[in-house]
Each structure stands twice: as structure tokens, then as C-alpha cells.
A and B are shown apart, each in its own frame.
Chain A
């Protein structure tokens, strides 16, 4: 018990240290940005005295360590500060923007897993054959194109030429403001409200960005699954099982896959973290009001409270995912102590 407690304490302290390091780094970045955040607050043409006054109001004329301590004490009270651009508390903004990115990333990950894992297994089973090579090419291709190109091409083909997909944005105008925000995740909220039309609309708007993001991540998942699977299929117990006369399907899914699944947990955790922060470009092309857009716009205007807040959030998720992956790894794999 004591050992468990010690290791838990060690993990927790390392997490906190990482987050602290993140905060310091981001804060420093903000002070180094060559944009005057006051301009975002007062407008480009503002007269000089207004700028000086607002700068003092925002506490920006204090020395950096003082500002940092002030920020830390605010943080301790759960106050992430105000965003100069949106005029809202950063916490409120994050609550508004995060579900959109979460929706995209989660859906993309599920899709990537749904397609990527079976493909990886198939490629492993058919190692060396044309099927294997084809799958590898298809997956690697997805990983070789910049996401923004895929997005633009997709809009061109499916929205402009073929008219199958809706345009940029999360939902059609008619549904704007009609659904009560419960979770912020449109697909869930619309179902909760019982509005099936709105649900279909939300799903339709999600389709393109999700498919593109999924394709991009699928490559990594498929490749990893294939590698793990090839390894697992060489294991002794597999050969024994085959010798005993068990069918290949049973061997693959019953015996080899569970080992693979355990190793995939880390891969998936990493992919998810990558998806969350990689959504930036996709959100720009598809006018998706998510964290990525929020972060980039704030950064470009040196509005640092949102930048620090969002960075902490993403960092927290990343660290948390790694932690969960670690724990799951220990729990699921009886060989690991």
C-alpha cells in the first residue's frame, strides 16, 4: 500500500511539475511576442494616451515576475483571466470552444480506429503480399499530404463540384441558436433535444473534417497495429495454438489481438493528443469554432491569457492520456509489473 501511494505521489508531482513548466514557458512566450496586446483591446488607430492607460489597467507595465506571480495566484482560484479579444473570461471561452474540437477529435479517432485497426491486422496477416503493400501505400499516402490541402481539395470536390457535402461551419443557419447547449457537443445535444433534423445537419457538417482527420491518423494506427500484429503472430503460443488446429481467425482475434490491443493503448493516446492540437488547420478551413482557432487567433494578437489557458488544457489532456495509457497498460497486460 505504501509503495502504491509513493508511486502515485511521484506520478502526481511529476504531472504538476510538467504543468508548471508549461505555464512558465507559455507565459514567457507571451512576453516575447512582438505584438502589443493592448492594440487588440483598443483598436489599431487608438490614440497614445488611451494605449498607455489601458496598458496600466491590464497590468502590463509591471515587471514580468510580478505579472507571473499575479497570474499564478489567479490560477490558484480557478481564474484563467480575461480574453482581450472576446471580452469573456477565458474559462468561459474554453467551455464554449472545447466541445467542438472534442467532437471532431473523438469522432475522427473512433473512425481512424474502426478502419485502421482492421486494416493493420489484415496487412499483418497478409504480410509481404500485394494487399499488404497496397494498404501500406494507402495509409502512408494519408500521412504524406498536409491536412490543409486535403481539406481544400475535399471542399472543392464534395462541396463545390459534387454538392454532396455542406459548406464550412458547424450547422446550417436555420438551426443556429435553436438547440439548448447541454454538453456543447452538437451531435449529442441535438439527440437530447429530440431534434432529429438538427442531428442530421450536425452530422453532415462534421463529415468532411472528421473523415480528413481520420484518414490522417489512420496511417499511424494501421502501421502500428501491423507491426505489433506481425510480432504477436510470431509468438510461441500462437504457433502452439495453430499446431493444436485452431482456425486462423480464432488465433488472430482470440490470442494475438489482446496483446496487440494493450500496446495500441499508448498509440491511441498519442494519436488523440495529436488530433486535439492538429485540429487548428482543419478548423480554419472549415470555419469550425474550436480550440485550435481560438488558440491561433489569440496567439496572433498576443492575447496571452487564452493562449496560456488553452496550452495548459491541452497539456493536461496529453499528460492525462499518457497517465491513463500507463495505468491501462499495467492493468491489462499481466506480464508487465
Chain B
């Protein structure tokens, strides 16, 4: 009847058949000299090393640029020379002299003291988010050119305002803010006095193993080999593809469409573990998951409540069942892998003890409270488990889920009651976390500094003094001791319940070796990665 239609519909089947055939040609495994990585790229802010201040961008930056020194290597308590070959402090511990090694930029030009001085000055002058890491030593846009000077081809001196512990200074310089950029190239591409900021979003001018070929936001980042750089391996390009869904990342890895999958969660990792074609590279990173209790809430301001909450949480149960492969129980405010970190875990689920503490606080009948948490897994699952835990001691929690940045906005505005969030350490030194958790000198709404402790209105002058003393202690061994004491003090005297530390896993195909994960994202390195 509708015969003409039938014919046409039948005809349409023919192209489909040849589609099956073309399926075989198109989906080859990735080429031998290109590394393909599946990663969530939605959090990047900038690829300018003196501006970028989050994990993914930081990782890219550290593969394109080098710093004076590198931290967190084989010996976590010390730094290794990179661009700087040697260093020394003067008698007052205020003038630091660096002698440079022989490094080359991607352009082929040698790294000179002029480049180093320019780079550090640039970091201060641009004054973006990470600048505080270096300008805490007294550098300002006005005085930096006088304080950071290139003495000759291979010597740079740095003068700090106060006497400074050299280990502290070196750790700070190992962060991406201390990246060395090629002065000539940056100046050439400067626009409207931006010191090359716009140009460095799309290009790189560094001496690291790779250089930036293209960044397509929410799509991919392409890096190509820096022939003049320190790379030892057989790769010519690294392409990082934006894949949001971890299940998709696993699928692509299993099929060989990508060589490394970066964001697998516990569910996928269990599968990957038993796959003989996949090798897991794992590292505990400097990211802590904790509950914050806002002190403006009268119930949360009671120290017995702080302790009660810490004794009500089923750390082991949650870790083992919800986040077995991505987190470990950790209760100190300093992350494991950093010098001086305490790994005690005194708190365990003890409902009786927690209830007694609640009674002591005069809250035997419990109270109602809200808890904000990220909407991205595993936060909702953990939050729900916590809700059940706290219900057992009478705290009735209403969960409020929101996008990560929404929760952050709310906390920065001090609008939360309880909040489940994560804190990533800024740079490789115990002061980084100690400062934000303990040093709060001004609790008013318009304080000039608003550290993490401020967000929950937590001010403890004793802790502040101890943290400052530890920061300024010059003897390295004594310094670590002070930090250890500070951590134990903090565990029992703060409204922050640190629960877990994050472990990152890079799932690599068997033939991909040498990819390293660092305790900070800037340690995630393709430097020694190859494919066989």
C-alpha cells in the first residue's frame, strides 16, 4: 500500500550496515607517542602560573614551568634543587642568595637570573590569589624590585622583611607562584600593562617538560614536548580530555581510548583493581574532609558539643563502606605527607560518651541544626551517614546540598550552621593549614583577613599564639615539634571535626608508566611518563 515508503525505509538500512564496518577502522587505540588522559577539567581558573590557584590548573602549570626548588619529593621534609642549584642564608636570616643551575626555556634560551628575578617580581606585582604565599615575607609591588635582585647571570638575592626560617621560605618558593617564566617572551606579549597575563592563558613560556599547545575550555588541553626541557621519555604530546562522568572515564580506559583516567571513584576503582590491563597509581593528597561548626550558633559554641560530635561519628564505618579507596581516616588538621604531621586518630564512634557530653552541655534532648554539603559525590552519601550518626545522640540534622561554589560562598558569608566541606592545602608547609585553622586575630565581619577559622567565627588567642610561634621558629626540628603539639591541641579544642584525608588514584593502562601523583597537585607530573 504505502509501498513507496516501504522501499525508502528499506533503503535507509543500507548505510547503517556500512556504519558497522566503519566502526572497526575508526576506533583504534591511542597512538604510541601521544598520551591521552581523561580528567574533569571544569575547575580551571587560569594557566598563568602567577594567577592560577586551583588543583587542575596547578597541575598543568607545574608541567610547563619549573621553580627554584621542588618539595615533597623523595624526602618529604626537605626540598630538591631545580632551577636553583644551591642557596644560603646570611647571618640575620634575612638575605638569601640563590645560585642557578643550567636550565633552558622552551624557546632554547637559557634561564638567567634576570628571568628569575622578573618572575618573582611579576608574581608580587600582579597580586593575584596565590601572591600571599610570597608576599607574606614583606614584598609589595612597590618594593619588590629592590628586594628581589639579579646580582649576575646566575645569582639572585632575596631580602625578607623579618628574619625567616630558610626551610619555610624554600617551601613557599616551591609553589607555582614561584614559577620561572621567560622574561623576554612575556614582555613581548604584554597588552595594556597586564604583564602578559592574557597571553599566558593560551601560551606558555617556561622551562618545564611540556609547553602549552591549546586550551579549549571544557573540552581539552593539549601539551607538546619541550625539546629543551627536562623530559625523559618517548612522548611527543599529552592530550587531556574533559570527561565529566567517572563511569565514562572507566569505560574509555578499559577500551584503550584513553591511557590514564584521573577521577575514578571507589565504585570504578574496585572494578579497575581487578582488571589486569590497568595499574593504579595512588597518593594521599593534602586535602582534608571536615565538619565546621559555626560558633555564632549558641548550641555549636559549646565545647562539649564539639567533642560530642567528634565522638558520635562512625569514622571507620563510613570510610570502609562509602569511601574505601578514596579516603582514609585522618583526624589532624595537617595532612599526612607533610613534615610534622600527627597521625593519631583518638576519636571513634562512642555513642554513650557523646551522649554524656551532650548532657553535660545541658542539651540532653538534643537540638535541630542544618548541615550544608557539596552536591558532588561522595559528599551526599557521607552527609547522610553523618545525619544518621548525629541523630543517635539527639542532634537532628537537616541536610542542604548545593554546588561546591555555592557552599563556599555561603561559608565565606558565615551563613552556615554546620558544614561538610573539604580543604586543600595551599603550599607545602605546615603553616599553610595552621594559619587558616588557628590564626584568627579579628573575628569581626569586616576583618581584613578572613581565614577558614574566621568563616566559622572561631577565635582562640592561645592557638593563634602557638601557631605563630611555630611558624617563626628557626630550628627545623623544634619547629616540627611545635606543630605536633599544636595539632593535638587543635584536635580537642576546636569546632572542626577533621574526619578523612583524600587519596587520589590515577588509573593507568599497563603500557603507561612513570606518571607521578604528588601530595599537592603541582606534584602531579608527566616528567617521567612513557608508553611502551
Contacts and interface: CB of A to CB of B under 8 A. Distances in A.
A binds B: yes
Interface of A: 34-36, 39-50, 53, 83, 85-88, 93, 96, 114, 118, 121-122, 125, 155, 159-160, 163-169, 172-174, 176-177, 197, 200-201, 203-204, 207, 248-249, 252, 284-285, 287, 289, 293-294, 297, 300-302
B403 A86 contact: no
Contacts of B54: 43-45
Nearest to B20: A164
B23 A46 contact: no
A47 B130 CA distance: 8
A36 B412 CA distance: 10
A289 to B, nearest CB: 4
Nearest to A117: B5
Contacts of B9: 118
Given A160-B251, A164-B23, A297-B218, A125 B2 contact: yes
Contact of A204 (B23, B127, B201, B409): B23
Contacts of A289: 216, 218-219, 242
Interface in B197-246: 198, 201, 213-214, 216-220, 222, 239, 241-245
B448 A48 contact: yes
Nearest to B47: A87
B384 interface: no
Given A43-B130, A125-B2, 15 more contacts: A35-B405, A39-B408, A47-B132, A87-B198, A118-B8, A122-B5, A155-B251, A163-B23, A167-B251, A173-B30, A197-B26, A203-B19, A287-B243, A289-B219, A293-B218
The 6 A-B pairs at the shortest CB distance, nearest first, are namely A43-B53, A86-B217, A46-B129, A48-B450, A36-B409, A43-B54
Given A159-B251, A174-B28, A289-B219, A42 B53 contact: yes
A167 B36 contact: no
Q: Which of A46, A121, A248, A293 has its CB near the most chain B CB atoms (within 10 A)?
A: A46
B317 to A, nearest CB: 29
Contacts of B26: 166, 172, 197, 200-201, 204
A35 B129 contact: no
B274 interface: no
Contacts of B242: 287, 289
Contacts of B406: 34-35
B243 A168 contact: yes
Contact of A207 (B8, B19, B201, B424): B19
9 contacts: A36-B409, A44-B408, A85-B217, A122-B2, A204-B26, A284-B245, A285-B245, A289-B218, A300-B405
Nearest to B18: A200
B274 to A, nearest CB: 16
Contacts of B320: none
Contacts of A200: 22, 25-26
Contacts of A50: 127-129, 131-132
A301 B44 CA distance: 12
Contacts of B404: 44
A248 B2 CA distance: 9
Interface in B110-131: 127-131
Contacts of A41: 45
Q: Which of A44, A46, A125, A297 has its CB near the most chain B CB atoms (within 10 A)?
A: A44
Interface string B16-37: 0001101101111011001010
Given A46-B53, A177-B222, A168 B405 contact: no
B531 to A, nearest CB: 13
Given A86-B217, A167-B248, A176 B222 contact: yes
Contacts of A42: 45, 53, 128-129
B239 A173 contact: yes
A35 B403 contact: yes
Contacts of A201: 26
A159 B254 CA distance: 11
A164 B26 CA distance: 11
B251 A174 contact: no
Nearest to B35: A173
Contact of A167 (B4, B5, B252): B252
A294 B30 CA distance: 27
Q: Which of B52, B243, B405, B449 has its CB near the most chain A CB atoms (within 10 A)?
A: B405
Interface in B336-381: none
Contacts of B408: 36, 39, 44
A42 B57 CA distance: 12
A177 B214 contact: yes
Contact of A47 (B25, B45, B129, B405): B129
A46 B426 CA distance: 10
A301 B217 CA distance: 14
Contacts of B80: none
Contact of A34 (B12, B198, B410): B410
B255 interface: yes
Contacts of A39: 405, 408-409, 412
Contacts of A114: 12
Interface string B46-70: 1000001110000000000000000
B3 interface: yes
Contacts of B214: 177
A28 B450 CA distance: 29
Contact of A172 (B8, B27, B132, B248): B27
Contacts of A53: 127
A15 to B, nearest CB: 31
B403 A43 contact: no
Contacts of A49: 448
Q: Which of A39, A40, A45 has its CB near the most chain B CB atoms (within 10 A)?
A: A45
A166 B251 CA distance: 11
B38 to A, nearest CB: 9
Contacts of A287: 241-245, 248
Contacts of A35: 403, 405-406, 409
Contact of B403 (A160, A176, A203, A300): A300
Contact of B3 (A85, A173, A249): A249
A86 B252 CA distance: 26
B2 A173 contact: no
Contacts of B127: 50, 53
Contacts of B23: 163-166, 204
Nearest to A204: B26
A168 to B, nearest CB: 5
B392 interface: no
Contact of A121 (B2, B245, B409): B2
Contacts of B53: 42-43, 45-46
Contacts of A297: 42, 218
A249 to B, nearest CB: 7
A203 B8 CA distance: 21
A249 B405 contact: no
A43 B27 contact: no
A159 B255 CA distance: 9
Contacts of A88: 217
A204 to B, nearest CB: 5
A58 to B, nearest CB: 14
